[in-house]
Homo-oligomer: A and B are copies of this chain.
Amino acid sequence: MELNGVTIDDTYAEAFPTWVARVIITAVTEEWAYKAAVEATGFATSAIGCPCEAGIESFLSGDETPDGRPGVAILICAGKKKVKEQVVERLAECILTAPTTAVFDGLPDAEERIAVKLHFFGDGYEYKKDVGGRNCWVIPTMNGEYVGEEDFGIVKGVAGGNFFVMGENQMAALVGAQAAVDAIASICGVITSFPGGIVASGSKVGSTKYKFMPASTNEKYCPTLREKVPDSKVPEGVKAIYEIVIDGVDEDAVKEAMAEGIQAATTVPGVVFISAGNFGGSLGPFKINLADIL
């Protein structure tokens, strides 16, 4: 199939379950909520080597937040135990410490709940307060008072939704990937956790040569190895491939993000081929056909 003159591979993305928390950070201005969100979602590209996967999901106006201030919603994704630990750590170290912030649960309807008890930081000076219908703790701090909910919903979401943007050269693929990330930024319920939303070095599980490595370069998709490895999957004329990896609160959100991202990438001149990554269907329970979503 073709879209805007770009070949869409007849394949599917294979994705996996993950637990997802959604945290709403508000602050005196959008800029300060954003700075806290950036710190809280850093070092969180891939569960392979980071303690979680995290990213900015959306920007919220004052109408959409419990305290009427501008906000940023982030997703934190990991296994069930790890997601609680990481929400606690990242809120404690990166948001409680940030100027003027407050924190609210972004999944109030979720049945599964985790407790994020930051109020002990108040050393007895903390107190309870209702903010916009939310049951919050107020902690006196050097900058005034921090306000935070401590009961967060988590849902079983989807990690590893993905597609590949292939270009006739590296800059075409890069700008194509950037256009995809921009488009995905406007979709609710998803994040792209890698740097700038883009993966430059997609990996395979394990390593042929170095047995101690949990993951290694995916040589079949390396353009410079096209003539050197058997069964290269790099199409003729492709010089660079970027992978966009999407985590989301459910499969529909991930599908919508994939569709919008692919659509956007195909409008960039020099993008010539779109594919997706899977493991033959043996691992992940979610199989998202590119043809079905476009």
Question: Of B89, B201, B210, which one neighbours A96 at CB under 8 angstroms?
Answer: B201
Contacts A/B (CB < 8 Å), 14 sampled: A31-B182, A35-B196, A43-B43, A43-B51, A45-B97, A46-B93, A67-B267, A68-B267, A70-B179, A120-B210, A125-B219, A142-B217, A143-B201, A169-B171
Q: How far is the CA of A124 from the CA of B228 in the complex (A)?
A: 12
Asked if B98 contacts A200 (CB within 8 A), the reply is yes
Contact status B122-A217, CB under 8 Å = yes
Residues in B with CB closer than 8 Å to A31 are: 178, 182
Closest to A175 in B: B171
- Contacts A170-B100, A172-B171, A196-B98: A201 and B146 contacting too (C-beta < 8 A)? yes
Residues in chain B near residue A120, CB distance under 8 A: 207, 210, 212-213, 216
- Is the pair A199, B42 in contact by a Cβ cutoff of 8 Å? no
Given contacts A48-B93, A99-B242, A183-B61, contact A269 B43 (CB under 8 A): no
Residues of B within 8 A of A264 (CB): 62, 68-70
* Bound-state Cα–Cα, A212 to B168, Å: 41
Q: What are the residues of chain B within 8 A of A267 when measuring CB–CB?
A: 28, 62, 67-69
The interface residues of chain B lying within 8 Å CB-to-CB of A161 are none
Check if B202 sits within 8 Å of A142, measured CB to CB.
yes
Using A45-B39, A99-B196, A120-B216 as known contacts, say yes or no to A141 and B93 having CB atoms under 8 A apart.
no
- On chain B, the residues within 8 Å of A95 by CB distance are 195
In A191-211, which residues have CB < 8 Å from any B CB? 194-196, 198-203, 207-210
**Is A278 in contact with chain B by the CB < 8 A criterion?**
no
